[in-house]
Structure 1
């Protein structure tokens, strides 16, 4: 299944800079791993915000939740998920 995933990062303003850097670096490593594994199909930053929009792939919503929960920044993420279904135009390409 594919999912449209919108993520807004909301780190506490009083979080120490060293902790922010550690978390952001760990998030980048995790994201690159998920991209290489095919879990993140495409991802875009939202200009002017600490947010992104991506197409993620998982077997089902439970697996997607596990993937998201494994992200180092998960406790500080607002996540919106929409399951995606095939469109007839895409099916014509198969």
Structure 2
């Protein structure tokens, strides 16, 4: 009784799996890299590598142009100390 029911359920699931897998068979389902020559594969790899690394490289080169410029002067205490030391030397 239970074995017959289990067999029917297994047959249904096997049929549905087979029909799902049959959809992906054929030329449309093959990976595109399968029919590419070695030179084309190297070109695609180079294109992907350059496209992934170009923007971070651009940012690293232009960091000084991107961030705001800070003030490049000494504070009042440091200027007073600098003048005091210059007066002591002279």
TM-score grouping bracket, smaller chain normalisation: under 0.3
Which of the two has greater helix per residue?
Answer: 2
TM-score (norm 2): 0.26
In our comparison, the structure showing a higher alpha carbon Rg is 2
Which of the two has greater strand per residue?
Answer: 1
TM-score (norm 1): 0.25
User: Could you say which structure has the greater relative contact order, defined with CA pairs below 8 angstroms and 6 or more residues apart?
Assistant: 1
